[in-house]
Structure 1
Amino acid sequence: MIFVSVGTANQGFDRLLRECDQIAYRIGLPFFAQIGSSSFKPLHMPYQAWLSRDEMQYYYQNATAFIVHGGFGTLSEILKLGKPIFVVARLFEEGEAGNNNQTDLAVKLHSLGLIYYIEHLPHLEAAIVQRETYLFRQNDLLTTIPTLIQEYVGQLIHHK
């Protein structure tokens, strides 16, 4: 099962859900979506607006792959699982976020080989179909993310 999550933002993420709904229809794989505040209601995949922590953990454990927004909370949970993660960042320009910080995080994690960043939504289907050909690095967030933050802050200090 491919688990789709749009997170808990007040803005919907209809753009992602529409695409995933069509992909689920075309390729026939089981999907489940957490749709949050989105107004779009999928026709070809089961969904629920909000999930409890236990329900989220159930889907995290049972998913074979993830299609998620680029929020740190979701990513920090699923990166530990070693399963394919495809990130479609919420965009300010689309009214999906207050800024484009999800893009920054997704680009960085993609460069590290931890996730696959989908910059152009029409590329998502091909990535999902080919998901087993991608090599994702295993990650232990307890050591890697603080190191990344420390290095980034160090770069900021040295540039002033």
Structure 2
Amino acid sequence: MIFVTVGTHEQQFDRVIKEIDTLVQNKTINDEVFVQIGYSTYIPTHCKWKEFLSYNEMQEKINTARIVITHGGPASFLSVLEKKKIPIVVPRRLCYGEHVNDHQLDFSLEIKNRGYNFILVEDIHDLGSKIVNYNEENRESFVSNNKNFNKKLEKLVKELLGE
């Protein structure tokens, strides 16, 4: 199952929902798809959907999904990373009326540059190929930033102690 969440921000995120619906319609996606659509105005016709999910429902969807596609809000994609899954992140953009500015893109790029392991989609037309090329090996390649932090801290401590 593929789970798509657009979060709870009060602006639409029709762009990602339309693209997912089209990918299912064209059979680019063969998995069952569930979309949390939030305040979006586009209603998918080829996917199961619900406007909002409870915290428990959200966790259940993340736990059972093969792929999780999320907006660029930190709470959403970091909660997927906590489950040792690699999310596909599509940031909301100002130019499409999806948010008040491009902070989701800026934040996603910064976090990606700091070594967090997720798949960033800047162009919606790349989403289909990211889904098609996503496979179970991605789970094996999960990199914990905690390990990176601990290695850097250990090195720093040894340098301070003159070891």
User: Which TM-score applies when normalising by structure 2?
Assistant: 0.81
Which consecutive residues of structure 1, in runs of 5 or more, have no partner in the other structure?
A: 148-160
Q: Which range moved further: 87-96 or 76-85?
A: 76-85
1:81 and 2:83 matched:
yes
Give runs of ≥4 in structure 1 deviating > 4 Å: 133-136
Q: Residue 131 of structure 1 aligns with which residue?
A: 134
Q: Residue 116 of structure 1 aligns with which residue?
A: 119
Match of 2:34, SS state, is: strand
Count of residue pairs brought into register by the alignment: 144
Q: Residue 20 of structure 1 aligns with which residue?
A: 20
Which consecutive residues of structure 2, in runs of 5 or more, have no partner in the other structure?
A: 153-163
User: Using the alignment, how far apart are the partners of 2:9 and 2:57 within structure 1?
Assistant: 18
Match of 1:131, SS state, is: coil
User: Using the alignment, how far apart are the partners of 2:52 and 2:144 within structure 1?
Assistant: 27
Change (3 A) 1:120 1:59: same
Greater Rg, structure 1 or structure 2?
2
Q: Residue 151 of structure 1 aligns with which residue?
A: none
User: Using the alignment, how far apart are the partners of 2:89 and 2:106 within structure 1?
Assistant: 11
Match of residue 31, structure 1, among 30, 33, 39: 33
Letter in 2 for 1:115: F
Deviation at 1:83, TM superposition (A): 1.8
**What per-residue deviation string (whole Å, max 9, x for no partner) do you get for residues 26-61 of structure 1?**
232111000000010001110000101111111011
Q: Which range moved further: 111-120 or 9-18?
A: 111-120
Aligned-pair identity in percent equals: 31
Deviation at 1:137, TM superposition (A): 2.9
